[in-house]
Amino acid sequence: MPARRLEADISFFTRLLFAAYFLEAGLILVITPWMAFWDQNVFLGAYPALQAALASPFARGAVSGVGAITTIAGIAELTSAIIWRFRASEESSGPVA
């Protein structure tokens, strides 16, 4: 039984890492297009047409939208992992008489 407990702990930890990644990536994608960093990108200086397209509020909004969806996925994964962990601990403790 200890091997199963270790497997459950690793699975829970993996789910937390996925949730943390989704939350971090999502928040970066939501915030970055509206910062000065977005306009001062060295790589876009070589392609003026691309720079003009990415400076558009529509492109910024699209990137922020993808970030919002990613953030929501991270919150959903975190919530799911916590509920899963709570139910697993209830099942392992057995019924209370």
> What integer pLDDT is reported at residue 48 of this predicted model?
82
Name 69's Cβ contacts closer than 8 Å, sequence gap at least 6: 26
Provide the mean pLDDT of the chain: 86
For residue 8, give the DSSP letter. H
Residue among 73, 60, 54, 70 nearest 32 (CA) = 60
Q: Which residue has the higher pLDDT, 3 or 84?
A: 84
Domain spans of the chain?
10-93
Helix (H) or strand (E) holding 73: helix 57-93
Residue 93's SS3 state is helix
| Cα torsion angle, 77, 81, 82, 83, sign | positive
Q: Which residue has the higher pLDDT, 48 or 75?
A: 75
| Cα torsion angle, 44, 45, 50, 56, sign | positive
**pLDDT tens by residue, 26-71:** 999 999 999 988 888 877 778 888 888 888 999 999 999 999 999 9
Whats the size of the chain, residue-wise?
97
